[in-house]
Each structure stands twice: as structure tokens, then as C-alpha cells.
Copies of this chain bind each other. A is one copy, B any other.
């Protein structure tokens, strides 16, 4: 960690600060210049409150040179983490093909889609029961009943299931769910993260709309610091000025996260682009970038022409896409 002191700092002030830092078992190297003085802090700086240090009158800037996260850091855990859900593995070369509808809508819908995507090669079923909606007047999901239907689809197909949780109070309800999804809006709901850290459930943690990759890793650290090491990170697009796509898919997150952490990284091109026509190209690109899995919305309701989601693929489209993804995965090995 580096602290740059302001121009007019007196020797007494500097001494005072250096003494305080040494008290934290840090070595302090001082480089005095005409305009500024630079302190190099050497030792275990993870416990230094950077905001506090920054806030001192005499301090101009503070910069970490080692990462503020520990348990999720690849430096201290070089081998890939592999998440196991029954027979399905994610990470370390194991690929998750997660597919299913945005929302669970009915018994037949979820069973039909589950069977279709399983046949096409999906190994995890997704489906929303609790839906975070911008408007209080919009459909908020089937809730408890949606969870019940998901569990039926799990029973019928043998596929592990993933669904979103929005509230610690629903934790009991979803104890038979295989993977708990933390949505983008909850990435920094720290109380929720800590509760999930006390379980041993696999958690799929989505990057927030305006969060940096470091903040995503800090949120994973929240979960892991409570003892739960089963974390899957998910890039799902960030908010930018571009309006043609719903969000801007930041695929460079995949190689960046693979450098910084041992946790698996999946990509959600459906929510990122918001347009089904863009999902195939971005799914294939995600696989090529080295992602450990892809999460795709698939919908099937021939009886209701009104329900074909703008960002959902049909089972037939998913079938074609999955084959192409597998070919690309073979090509990059």
C-alpha cells in the first residue's frame, strides 16, 4: 500500500502517522520529495481501513498495490475451484449449460422447457419464482408456488435447479433448490450475502449493473468470509450510455476474473443483450472467451403467441446453439 502525503505536511505530522502505521505491524518506507512525500507500507495491509487513511488531512492519495480480497484471491489459492452439484461440476474445465424460462409460469411450461433443454444438452435448469421488478404493478413471479413447480421439474428431469432469492426470509423455502442466485440488484445487499455465507449452498453471484469487478470480488469475499466457498460469479452486462442493447456485456470480465480469482465464471447473454437475436453470437463468444458456463433463457409456449420473450430462445434455437457452443469449446481446448 502506498500513501502519498500532501505538500505542506510537517515532520511531526509525518512522524505521528508513521508511528500509527508501525503500530499495525507495517514497515514504512519514506520517500521524501520537494512537492510530496511517499510512504510505502509493507506487510499485511488487508486490515488497514483505506477510507480512514485517505481521510487524514495530510494524506493526498492512498493506493493498494495488493488486492483487498483474500479468500477469493487466486494468489493464495492457485487451482480452480470446482463447484459440485450432484453429478454436475462447474469450473476447472467443467462447463455449466444453464437454461430455462425467465419466469416459472405453469406446471406444463416448466416441465416442457426442462425436458427440451435437457435433451439439447443443458445440465442445469433455471427458472424465476421471485422476480425483482422495477414497477410495483408488474408481475412479481409465482413465488412459493413457482419454487414448488421448479422442484417438480427437478424431480421429473433429474436436473439440478437454480433460482433467485431476494430476501433472507425466504431462505427456508428454497432449501431444496440446488443453486441460489443473487441478482444484480442485490450484489451489495451485504446482509443477504452474510446469511448466504452461513449456508453451504452453491451461490451464483451476479455482477451489479454499475459494479466494478473488484466490487464483485469483495461481495464474493463477504460470502466466503462466513465460510461458504461454493461461489459462482456471473457477468450479465453493465449499464452504459449505449441503448441498443439492454446492457453492455463486458466479456473481458471472463479472462480478468480468471486472472484474479479461482472461482468459476459464467455469462448470461440473455439479460445482457435483451434481444434473442444477439444471444447466439454472444453465447459462442462467451464460450470462446473461456467462460465456465452460460445461462440462457429458453421459452416454449406454442399455445400462446404472446409469450415469446424478447430475449428468450425457442427450444429449437437452443438446440442449434448448444451444438455450436460445444464445437467452439472443443476448438479452444
Q: What residues of chain A have their CB less than 8 Å away from a CB belonging to chain B?
A: 2, 4, 13, 16-17, 20, 27, 29-36, 38, 40, 42-43, 46-47, 49, 51-52, 54-57, 60-61, 63, 65-66, 68-69, 132-139, 166-169, 185-186, 188-191, 194, 208-210, 212-215, 218, 221-222, 225, 238-245, 248-252, 254-256, 259, 272-273, 277-278, 280-282, 284-290, 305-312, 324, 327-328, 330-332
Interface of chain A: mostly helix, strand, loop or mixed: mixed
Asked whether, in the complex, the Cβ of A328 is within 8 Å of the Cβ of B332, the reply is yes
What chain B residues lie within 8 Å of A168 (beta carbons)?
167, 169
- Expressed in whole angstroms, the Cα–Cα distance for A255 and B55 within the complex equals 19
Residues of B within 8 A of A309 (CB): 55
Residue of B nearest to A288 (CB): B288
**A52–B306 contact, CB under 8 A?**
yes
Query: How many whole Å from A244's CB to the nearest CB in chain B?
Result: 5
Chain B residue with minimal CB distance to A247? B252
Nearest-Cβ distance from residue A177 to partner chain B, whole angstroms:
18
List, in ascending order, chain B residues with CB within 8 A of A69's CB: 135
Instruction: Tell me if A238 and B245 are in contact (CB < 8 A).
Output: no
Q: Please state if B65 and A36 are interface contacts (CB–CB under 8 Å).
A: yes
A193 to chain B, nearest CB (A): 8
| Interface residue from B61, B139, B308, B328 paired with A55 (Cβ < 8 Å) | B308
Q: Give every chain B residue within 8 A of A33 (Cβ-Cβ).
A: 27, 40, 42-43
Q: Which residues of B contact A60 (CB under 8 A)?
A: 65
Taking a contact as CB atoms under 8 Å apart, the answer to whether A252 and B239 are in contact is no
Is the pair B66, A63 in contact by a Cβ cutoff of 8 Å? no
The reply to whether B248 and A212 form a contact with Cβ atoms under 8 Å apart is: no
Question: Which 10 pairs of residues, A with B, have the shortest CB-CB distance?
Answer: A31-B40, A210-B210, A29-B31, A288-B288, A33-B42, A255-B281, A331-B331, A285-B289, A55-B310, A38-B40
- Which B residue's beta carbon lies closest to that of A289? B285
